[in-house]
Structure 1
Amino acid sequence: MPTDQPQPAFVLVRPQMGENIGAAARAMWNFTLDRMRIVAPRDGWPNEKAVVMASGAGRLLDEAQIYGTVPEALQDCTYVLATTARPRGLTKPVLSPERAMQVAAEKIAAGEKVAVLFGPERAGLENDEIARANAIISVPVNPDFASLNLGQCVLLVAYEWMRQVGEVTHDVTPLGKTDWATGLEIDALGDHFEERLEEAGFFFPEHKAESMKMNLRNLWSRMPLTQVDVRMLHGIMRQMVRWKERGE
Protein backbone atom coordinates (compact mmCIF):
# COMPACT_ATOMS: atom_id res chain seq x y z
CA MET A 1 0.00 0.00 0.00
CA PRO A 2 1.19 3.56 -0.69
CA THR A 3 2.28 5.57 2.32
CA ASP A 4 -0.10 8.15 3.76
CA GLN A 5 2.44 10.95 3.33
CA PRO A 6 1.00 13.86 1.30
CA GLN A 7 3.07 14.19 -1.86
CA PRO A 8 2.96 14.97 -5.57
CA ALA A 9 2.29 12.29 -8.17
CA PHE A 10 5.19 11.71 -10.56
CA VAL A 11 3.79 11.07 -14.05
CA LEU A 12 6.09 9.33 -16.56
CA VAL A 13 4.79 10.15 -20.03
CA ARG A 14 5.44 7.50 -22.73
CA PRO A 15 8.63 6.15 -21.13
CA GLN A 16 10.58 4.18 -23.69
CA MET A 17 12.72 1.81 -21.64
CA GLY A 18 11.79 -0.39 -18.73
CA GLU A 19 15.19 0.23 -17.18
CA ASN A 20 14.45 3.95 -16.95
CA ILE A 21 11.07 3.34 -15.34
CA GLY A 22 12.80 1.15 -12.75
CA ALA A 23 15.47 3.79 -12.17
CA ALA A 24 12.75 6.40 -11.69
CA ALA A 25 10.98 4.20 -9.12
CA ARG A 26 14.22 3.70 -7.25
CA ALA A 27 14.93 7.45 -7.29
CA MET A 28 11.44 8.23 -6.00
CA TRP A 29 11.63 5.77 -3.14
CA ASN A 30 15.08 7.07 -2.16
CA PHE A 31 13.21 10.22 -1.14
CA THR A 32 10.02 8.58 0.25
CA LEU A 33 7.87 9.25 -2.83
CA ASP A 34 5.63 6.41 -3.96
CA ARG A 35 2.90 7.86 -6.20
CA MET A 36 3.94 6.82 -9.71
CA ARG A 37 1.71 7.20 -12.72
CA ILE A 38 2.73 5.89 -16.14
CA VAL A 39 1.24 7.06 -19.43
CA ALA A 40 1.40 4.70 -22.43
CA PRO A 41 4.73 2.95 -21.76
CA ARG A 42 6.29 2.06 -25.11
CA ASP A 43 7.12 -1.56 -24.25
CA GLY A 44 3.88 -2.33 -22.46
CA TRP A 45 3.19 -3.11 -18.82
CA PRO A 46 4.24 -4.84 -16.61
CA ASN A 47 7.88 -4.69 -17.63
CA GLU A 48 10.44 -7.14 -16.27
CA LYS A 49 13.38 -4.85 -17.01
CA ALA A 50 11.77 -2.14 -14.88
CA VAL A 51 11.40 -4.59 -11.99
CA VAL A 52 15.07 -5.59 -12.15
CA MET A 53 16.28 -1.98 -12.23
CA ALA A 54 13.94 -0.88 -9.43
CA SER A 55 15.65 -3.28 -7.01
CA GLY A 56 14.10 -2.64 -3.56
CA ALA A 57 11.58 -0.16 -4.96
CA GLY A 58 9.56 -2.73 -6.88
CA ARG A 59 6.50 -1.96 -4.77
CA LEU A 60 6.15 1.37 -6.58
CA LEU A 61 5.89 -0.49 -9.89
CA ASP A 62 3.29 -2.89 -8.49
CA GLU A 63 1.21 0.06 -7.29
CA ALA A 64 1.83 2.33 -10.30
CA GLN A 65 -1.28 3.63 -12.04
CA ILE A 66 -1.29 3.10 -15.81
CA TYR A 67 -3.05 5.52 -18.17
CA GLY A 68 -3.52 5.79 -21.90
CA THR A 69 -3.26 9.56 -22.17
CA VAL A 70 -1.91 12.53 -20.23
CA PRO A 71 -5.39 14.07 -19.64
CA GLU A 72 -6.50 10.81 -18.02
CA ALA A 73 -3.43 10.80 -15.75
CA LEU A 74 -4.12 14.39 -14.65
CA GLN A 75 -7.90 14.25 -14.28
CA ASP A 76 -7.86 14.54 -10.46
CA CYS A 77 -5.00 17.07 -10.24
CA THR A 78 -5.40 20.77 -9.49
CA TYR A 79 -1.82 21.90 -10.16
CA VAL A 80 0.62 20.46 -12.70
CA LEU A 81 4.34 21.00 -13.21
CA ALA A 82 6.07 19.94 -16.42
CA THR A 83 9.78 19.19 -16.65
CA THR A 84 11.38 20.39 -19.87
CA ALA A 85 14.76 21.68 -21.00
CA ARG A 86 13.17 24.62 -22.82
CA PRO A 87 9.92 26.61 -22.42
CA ARG A 88 9.22 26.30 -26.19
CA GLY A 89 7.63 29.71 -26.54
CA LEU A 90 4.76 29.08 -24.11
CA THR A 91 3.90 31.84 -21.64
CA LYS A 92 4.23 30.03 -18.32
CA PRO A 93 6.13 30.50 -15.07
CA VAL A 94 9.51 28.77 -15.29
CA LEU A 95 10.69 27.50 -11.93
CA SER A 96 13.90 25.96 -10.68
CA PRO A 97 13.47 22.45 -9.19
CA GLU A 98 13.90 23.95 -5.70
CA ARG A 99 11.24 26.61 -6.21
CA ALA A 100 8.93 24.14 -7.95
CA MET A 101 8.96 21.80 -4.98
CA GLN A 102 8.41 24.73 -2.61
CA VAL A 103 5.27 25.59 -4.56
CA ALA A 104 4.23 21.93 -4.66
CA ALA A 105 4.63 21.60 -0.89
CA GLU A 106 2.59 24.77 -0.29
CA LYS A 107 -0.25 23.63 -2.55
CA ILE A 108 -0.33 20.10 -1.15
CA ALA A 109 -0.43 21.52 2.39
CA ALA A 110 -3.45 23.56 1.28
CA GLY A 111 -5.23 20.40 0.13
CA GLU A 112 -4.48 20.51 -3.58
CA LYS A 113 -3.40 17.56 -5.70
CA VAL A 114 -0.12 18.16 -7.53
CA ALA A 115 1.44 16.23 -10.39
CA VAL A 116 4.86 16.47 -12.02
CA LEU A 117 5.17 15.45 -15.68
CA PHE A 118 8.31 13.78 -17.01
CA GLY A 119 8.62 13.32 -20.76
CA PRO A 120 9.95 10.37 -22.79
CA GLU A 121 13.67 9.91 -23.05
CA ARG A 122 14.19 10.75 -26.70
CA ALA A 123 12.28 14.01 -27.21
CA GLY A 124 10.66 15.02 -23.94
CA LEU A 125 7.12 16.30 -23.54
CA GLU A 126 5.09 17.53 -26.49
CA ASN A 127 3.90 21.15 -26.59
CA ASP A 128 0.26 20.18 -26.03
CA GLU A 129 1.30 18.26 -22.91
CA ILE A 130 3.32 21.17 -21.56
CA ALA A 131 0.34 23.42 -22.31
CA ARG A 132 -1.68 21.48 -19.71
CA ALA A 133 0.83 22.38 -16.98
CA ASN A 134 0.50 25.39 -14.69
CA ALA A 135 4.27 25.92 -14.59
CA ILE A 136 7.49 24.54 -16.01
CA ILE A 137 10.42 23.06 -14.11
CA SER A 138 13.69 23.97 -15.79
CA VAL A 139 16.95 22.46 -14.53
CA PRO A 140 20.02 24.72 -14.82
CA VAL A 141 22.16 22.39 -16.92
CA ASN A 142 24.84 22.79 -19.57
CA PRO A 143 23.05 24.52 -22.51
CA ASP A 144 25.19 22.53 -24.93
CA PHE A 145 24.05 19.26 -23.36
CA ALA A 146 20.70 19.86 -21.71
CA SER A 147 19.20 16.38 -22.00
CA LEU A 148 18.75 14.52 -18.72
CA ASN A 149 18.11 10.81 -18.39
CA LEU A 150 14.60 10.10 -17.05
CA GLY A 151 15.90 8.55 -13.84
CA GLN A 152 18.28 11.46 -13.27
CA CYS A 153 15.52 14.02 -13.72
CA VAL A 154 13.21 12.16 -11.34
CA LEU A 155 16.02 11.88 -8.78
CA LEU A 156 16.77 15.59 -8.95
CA VAL A 157 13.14 16.67 -8.44
CA ALA A 158 12.57 14.04 -5.74
CA TYR A 159 15.61 15.30 -3.84
CA GLU A 160 14.27 18.86 -3.94
CA TRP A 161 10.96 17.56 -2.61
CA MET A 162 12.74 15.95 0.33
CA ARG A 163 14.56 19.21 1.03
CA GLN A 164 11.21 20.96 1.40
CA VAL A 165 9.41 18.46 3.63
CA GLY A 166 12.10 16.31 5.25
CA GLU A 167 14.79 16.69 7.85
CA VAL A 168 17.94 17.46 5.86
CA THR A 169 21.19 17.57 7.83
CA HIS A 170 23.63 19.81 5.98
CA ASP A 171 26.71 19.20 8.12
CA VAL A 172 27.48 16.36 10.50
CA THR A 173 30.59 14.72 11.94
CA PRO A 174 30.02 11.15 13.16
CA LEU A 175 31.85 10.65 16.47
CA GLY A 176 32.12 6.89 16.51
CA LYS A 177 32.71 5.70 20.09
CA THR A 178 33.71 9.03 21.59
CA ASP A 179 32.34 12.47 22.47
CA TRP A 180 33.52 16.00 21.89
CA ALA A 181 36.11 17.16 24.40
CA THR A 182 34.85 19.55 27.06
CA GLY A 183 36.34 22.93 27.81
CA LEU A 184 37.81 21.52 31.01
CA GLU A 185 39.54 18.69 29.15
CA ILE A 186 40.97 21.07 26.54
CA ASP A 187 42.21 23.43 29.27
CA ALA A 188 43.98 20.49 30.96
CA LEU A 189 45.56 19.56 27.62
CA GLY A 190 46.77 23.15 27.17
CA ASP A 191 48.22 23.18 30.67
CA HIS A 192 50.04 19.89 30.03
CA PHE A 193 51.64 21.16 26.81
CA GLU A 194 52.55 24.52 28.33
CA GLU A 195 54.23 22.89 31.32
CA ARG A 196 56.27 20.47 29.25
CA LEU A 197 57.18 23.03 26.60
CA GLU A 198 58.19 25.46 29.35
CA GLU A 199 60.53 22.82 30.77
CA ALA A 200 61.95 22.23 27.30
CA GLY A 201 62.67 25.94 26.83
CA PHE A 202 60.27 26.26 23.92
CA PHE A 203 58.86 29.66 24.93
CA PHE A 204 61.84 31.74 23.86
CA PRO A 205 62.71 34.58 23.79
CA GLU A 206 61.08 35.48 27.07
CA HIS A 207 59.38 38.64 25.82
CA LYS A 208 57.47 36.52 23.29
CA ALA A 209 56.49 33.78 25.72
CA GLU A 210 53.01 35.08 26.56
CA SER A 211 52.18 35.60 22.90
CA MET A 212 53.35 32.09 22.04
CA LYS A 213 51.24 30.61 24.85
CA MET A 214 48.22 32.57 23.62
CA ASN A 215 48.74 31.23 20.11
CA LEU A 216 48.98 27.70 21.45
CA ARG A 217 45.70 28.10 23.36
CA ASN A 218 44.12 29.54 20.24
CA LEU A 219 45.30 26.52 18.30
CA TRP A 220 43.44 24.15 20.64
CA SER A 221 40.26 26.24 20.42
CA ARG A 222 40.28 26.08 16.62
CA MET A 223 40.58 22.32 16.54
CA PRO A 224 37.36 20.26 16.91
CA LEU A 225 38.88 17.81 19.40
CA THR A 226 37.20 14.68 20.67
CA GLN A 227 37.98 13.05 24.02
CA VAL A 228 39.96 10.37 22.13
CA ASP A 229 41.99 13.12 20.44
CA VAL A 230 42.77 14.74 23.79
CA ARG A 231 43.90 11.46 25.35
CA MET A 232 46.10 10.75 22.34
CA LEU A 233 47.75 14.20 22.51
CA HIS A 234 48.39 13.75 26.24
CA GLY A 235 49.95 10.37 25.46
CA ILE A 236 52.15 11.80 22.71
CA MET A 237 53.53 14.46 25.05
CA ARG A 238 54.13 11.97 27.87
CA GLN A 239 55.93 9.59 25.52
CA MET A 240 58.13 12.36 24.15
CA VAL A 241 59.13 13.36 27.68
CA ARG A 242 59.93 9.73 28.56
CA TRP A 243 62.01 9.39 25.39
CA LYS A 244 63.93 12.55 26.27
CA GLU A 245 64.57 11.33 29.81
CA ARG A 246 65.79 7.94 28.57
CA GLY A 247 68.17 9.74 26.23
CA GLU A 248 69.73 11.55 29.16
Structure 2
Amino acid sequence: MNVTLKRVRNPFKWISLFLPAVLQFTAAAEKLPLSFTVRVGDEVTLPCENVIDGQQECEYTRWIFIDSGNTTTVRLAKLGQIIENAKSKSDRLSVTENCSLVIKKVTVEDVGRYDCQQFISGKQISDSQVHLSVIIMTERKVADKVTLWCSVLKYEQSCSHTVKWLYEGKDVDKDNKDMKTSQSVCYAAVSFLDSHFSYKSKSNLKCEVTDGYSGKVQLFTFSPQSSGEKTGENMLSCSR
Protein backbone atom coordinates (compact mmCIF):
# COMPACT_ATOMS: atom_id res chain seq x y z
CA MET A 1 0.00 0.00 0.00
CA ASN A 2 1.48 3.23 -1.12
CA VAL A 3 0.81 6.26 1.01
CA THR A 4 1.35 9.64 -0.54
CA LEU A 5 2.10 12.40 1.91
CA LYS A 6 0.89 15.77 0.70
CA ARG A 7 2.63 18.89 1.83
CA VAL A 8 0.30 20.96 3.97
CA ARG A 9 0.90 24.67 3.66
CA ASN A 10 1.07 26.70 6.82
CA PRO A 11 -2.11 28.82 6.91
CA PHE A 12 -0.62 31.10 9.57
CA LYS A 13 1.93 32.32 7.07
CA TRP A 14 -0.79 33.89 4.94
CA ILE A 15 -2.53 35.31 7.98
CA SER A 16 0.70 36.96 9.10
CA LEU A 17 1.10 38.49 5.66
CA PHE A 18 -2.49 39.61 5.37
CA LEU A 19 -3.00 41.01 8.88
CA PRO A 20 -0.70 44.06 8.60
CA ALA A 21 -2.51 45.17 5.46
CA VAL A 22 -5.85 44.85 7.27
CA LEU A 23 -4.58 46.86 10.21
CA GLN A 24 -3.24 49.59 7.95
CA PHE A 25 -6.52 49.78 6.07
CA THR A 26 -8.49 49.94 9.33
CA ALA A 27 -6.27 52.71 10.68
CA ALA A 28 -6.68 54.71 7.49
CA ALA A 29 -10.44 54.17 7.48
CA GLU A 30 -10.68 55.30 11.13
CA LYS A 31 -8.33 58.25 10.81
CA LEU A 32 -8.95 60.60 13.67
CA PRO A 33 -9.28 64.36 13.17
CA LEU A 34 -6.31 66.53 14.04
CA SER A 35 -6.48 67.84 17.60
CA PHE A 36 -4.81 70.82 19.25
CA THR A 37 -4.71 71.73 22.93
CA VAL A 38 -3.73 75.26 23.98
CA ARG A 39 -4.30 77.34 27.07
CA VAL A 40 -6.55 80.37 27.30
CA GLY A 41 -4.86 83.43 25.80
CA ASP A 42 -2.55 81.50 23.45
CA GLU A 43 -2.44 81.67 19.66
CA VAL A 44 -3.03 78.58 17.53
CA THR A 45 -2.82 77.76 13.82
CA LEU A 46 -5.25 75.11 12.57
CA PRO A 47 -4.06 73.45 9.34
CA CYS A 48 -6.28 72.58 6.39
CA GLU A 49 -5.33 69.05 5.32
CA ASN A 50 -7.22 68.93 2.04
CA VAL A 51 -6.21 72.17 0.29
CA ILE A 52 -6.69 72.05 -3.48
CA ASP A 53 -3.48 72.87 -5.31
CA GLY A 54 -3.36 75.87 -7.61
CA GLN A 55 -6.01 78.03 -5.96
CA GLN A 56 -5.42 81.75 -5.67
CA GLU A 57 -5.65 83.26 -2.18
CA CYS A 58 -7.58 80.23 -0.89
CA GLU A 59 -10.46 80.96 -3.26
CA TYR A 60 -11.84 77.41 -2.89
CA THR A 61 -11.57 77.32 0.91
CA ARG A 62 -14.25 77.78 3.54
CA TRP A 63 -13.84 77.41 7.33
CA ILE A 64 -16.79 76.35 9.52
CA PHE A 65 -16.95 76.32 13.35
CA ILE A 66 -19.17 73.99 15.42
CA ASP A 67 -19.23 74.65 19.16
CA SER A 68 -18.69 72.02 21.86
CA GLY A 69 -22.41 71.62 22.47
CA ASN A 70 -23.16 71.05 18.77
CA THR A 71 -25.72 73.83 19.08
CA THR A 72 -24.10 76.51 16.94
CA THR A 73 -22.56 76.42 13.48
CA VAL A 74 -20.77 79.56 12.30
CA ARG A 75 -19.13 80.34 8.96
CA LEU A 76 -15.75 81.83 9.72
CA ALA A 77 -14.10 82.22 6.30
CA LYS A 78 -15.21 82.13 2.68
CA LEU A 79 -13.05 82.47 -0.43
CA GLY A 80 -10.06 82.75 1.90
CA GLN A 81 -11.48 85.83 3.65
CA ILE A 82 -12.72 86.10 7.24
CA ILE A 83 -16.46 86.75 7.39
CA GLU A 84 -17.13 89.94 9.32
CA ASN A 85 -20.26 88.67 11.05
CA ALA A 86 -18.44 85.68 12.56
CA LYS A 87 -19.54 86.93 15.98
CA SER A 88 -16.78 87.95 18.38
CA LYS A 89 -14.19 85.81 16.61
CA SER A 90 -13.70 87.86 13.46
CA ASP A 91 -11.15 90.31 14.87
CA ARG A 92 -9.03 87.42 16.18
CA LEU A 93 -9.02 85.32 13.01
CA SER A 94 -6.91 85.26 9.86
CA VAL A 95 -6.20 82.87 6.97
CA THR A 96 -2.61 82.09 5.96
CA GLU A 97 -1.23 81.58 2.45
CA ASN A 98 -1.66 77.80 2.77
CA CYS A 99 -5.27 78.30 3.95
CA SER A 100 -4.64 77.49 7.62
CA LEU A 101 -6.82 79.27 10.17
CA VAL A 102 -5.08 81.39 12.83
CA ILE A 103 -6.87 82.14 16.11
CA LYS A 104 -5.36 84.78 18.40
CA LYS A 105 -6.01 85.11 22.12
CA VAL A 106 -7.91 81.82 22.39
CA THR A 107 -10.93 81.81 24.72
CA VAL A 108 -13.15 79.06 26.09
CA GLU A 109 -15.72 79.96 23.43
CA ASP A 110 -13.24 78.75 20.78
CA VAL A 111 -13.48 75.12 21.96
CA GLY A 112 -15.06 73.06 19.21
CA ARG A 113 -14.70 71.53 15.77
CA TYR A 114 -13.29 73.42 12.80
CA ASP A 115 -14.06 72.15 9.31
CA CYS A 116 -11.95 73.18 6.33
CA GLN A 117 -14.14 72.70 3.26
CA GLN A 118 -13.06 72.87 -0.38
CA PHE A 119 -15.50 74.10 -3.03
CA ILE A 120 -15.24 74.22 -6.81
CA SER A 121 -18.03 75.85 -8.85
CA GLY A 122 -20.17 75.97 -5.73
CA LYS A 123 -19.89 72.23 -5.09
CA GLN A 124 -18.16 70.88 -2.00
CA ILE A 125 -15.59 68.25 -2.94
CA SER A 126 -13.73 67.60 0.32
CA ASP A 127 -13.70 68.32 4.03
CA SER A 128 -11.16 68.00 6.85
CA GLN A 129 -11.68 68.48 10.58
CA VAL A 130 -9.62 69.91 13.43
CA HIS A 131 -10.67 69.69 17.07
CA LEU A 132 -9.56 72.47 19.43
CA SER A 133 -9.35 71.91 23.20
CA VAL A 134 -8.51 74.61 25.75
CA ILE A 135 -6.62 74.47 29.05
CA ILE A 136 -7.88 76.65 31.90
CA MET A 137 -6.08 77.18 35.21
CA THR A 138 -7.70 78.65 38.31
CA GLU A 139 -6.60 79.35 41.87
CA ARG A 140 -8.78 79.36 44.97
CA LYS A 141 -7.71 80.39 48.45
CA VAL A 142 -9.68 79.65 51.62
CA ALA A 143 -7.92 80.86 54.76
CA ASP A 144 -4.35 79.59 54.32
CA LYS A 145 -5.28 76.70 52.02
CA VAL A 146 -4.65 77.16 48.29
CA THR A 147 -6.09 74.91 45.57
CA LEU A 148 -4.94 75.06 41.96
CA TRP A 149 -7.07 73.59 39.19
CA CYS A 150 -6.05 72.52 35.70
CA SER A 151 -8.88 71.53 33.37
CA VAL A 152 -9.32 70.58 29.70
CA LEU A 153 -12.39 71.80 27.85
CA LYS A 154 -13.08 69.64 24.79
CA TYR A 155 -15.36 69.39 21.78
CA GLU A 156 -16.32 65.76 22.36
CA GLN A 157 -18.49 64.64 25.26
CA SER A 158 -15.98 61.93 26.17
CA CYS A 159 -12.49 62.89 27.28
CA SER A 160 -9.30 61.16 26.17
CA HIS A 161 -6.95 63.52 27.99
CA THR A 162 -5.21 62.70 31.24
CA VAL A 163 -4.17 65.56 33.51
CA LYS A 164 -1.79 65.67 36.46
CA TRP A 165 0.33 68.16 38.39
CA LEU A 166 4.13 68.07 38.46
CA TYR A 167 6.40 69.85 40.92
CA GLU A 168 9.96 70.40 39.75
CA GLY A 169 9.37 67.81 37.03
CA LYS A 170 8.10 65.03 39.31
CA ASP A 171 4.65 63.79 40.28
CA VAL A 172 3.33 65.91 43.13
CA ASP A 173 2.51 62.79 45.14
CA LYS A 174 6.18 61.82 45.27
CA ASP A 175 8.28 63.37 48.05
CA ASN A 176 5.77 66.20 48.58
CA LYS A 177 3.97 65.53 51.85
CA ASP A 178 2.80 69.13 52.03
CA MET A 179 0.78 68.77 48.81
CA LYS A 180 -2.37 66.81 48.15
CA THR A 181 -3.69 66.04 44.68
CA SER A 182 -6.91 64.79 43.15
CA GLN A 183 -7.75 64.08 39.56
CA SER A 184 -10.53 62.81 37.36
CA VAL A 185 -11.42 62.83 33.70
CA CYS A 186 -9.89 65.92 32.11
CA TYR A 187 -8.95 67.78 35.29
CA ALA A 188 -6.57 67.72 38.24
CA ALA A 189 -6.25 69.73 41.45
CA VAL A 190 -3.42 70.28 43.91
CA SER A 191 -3.82 71.77 47.41
CA PHE A 192 -1.30 73.09 49.91
CA LEU A 193 -0.87 75.65 52.67
CA ASP A 194 0.05 79.04 51.30
CA SER A 195 2.45 79.60 54.18
CA HIS A 196 4.56 76.67 52.93
CA PHE A 197 5.09 78.02 49.40
CA SER A 198 6.27 81.29 47.97
CA TYR A 199 5.24 82.62 44.56
CA LYS A 200 8.52 81.30 43.19
CA SER A 201 7.65 77.82 44.44
CA LYS A 202 4.29 77.98 42.68
CA SER A 203 6.06 78.70 39.41
CA ASN A 204 7.65 75.24 39.70
CA LEU A 205 4.21 73.67 39.40
CA LYS A 206 3.33 72.47 35.91
CA CYS A 207 0.20 70.86 34.56
CA GLU A 208 0.96 67.84 32.37
CA VAL A 209 -1.70 67.06 29.77
CA THR A 210 -1.56 63.89 27.67
CA ASP A 211 -3.75 63.37 24.60
CA GLY A 212 -4.99 59.78 24.78
CA TYR A 213 -5.38 59.51 21.00
CA SER A 214 -2.13 60.99 19.73
CA GLY A 215 -0.04 60.35 22.85
CA LYS A 216 1.21 63.95 22.72
CA VAL A 217 2.34 65.28 26.10
CA GLN A 218 2.27 69.00 26.89
CA LEU A 219 3.43 70.94 29.95
CA PHE A 220 1.71 74.15 31.06
CA THR A 221 3.35 76.32 33.71
CA PHE A 222 0.90 77.48 36.34
CA SER A 223 -0.37 81.01 35.99
CA PRO A 224 -3.92 82.00 36.93
CA GLN A 225 -6.26 83.55 34.41
CA SER A 226 -6.51 87.30 34.23
CA SER A 227 -9.61 89.04 35.50
CA GLY A 228 -10.81 89.52 31.93
CA GLU A 229 -10.95 85.78 31.23
CA LYS A 230 -13.85 83.54 32.09
CA THR A 231 -13.38 81.38 35.15
CA GLY A 232 -15.45 79.64 37.82
CA GLU A 233 -16.91 76.31 38.81
CA ASN A 234 -19.27 76.27 35.82
CA MET A 235 -16.33 75.80 33.46
CA LEU A 236 -14.65 73.24 35.70
CA SER A 237 -17.80 71.17 35.88
CA CYS A 238 -17.96 71.04 32.08
CA SER A 239 -14.70 69.13 31.94
CA ARG A 240 -15.51 66.51 34.58
TMscore range, shorter length: under 0.3
Larger radius of gyration: 1
Structure with the bigger percentage of helix = 1
TM-score, scaled relative to structure 2: 0.21
Structure with the larger strand share: 2
Structure number with the bigger relative contact order (C-alpha 8 A, sep ≥ 6) is 1
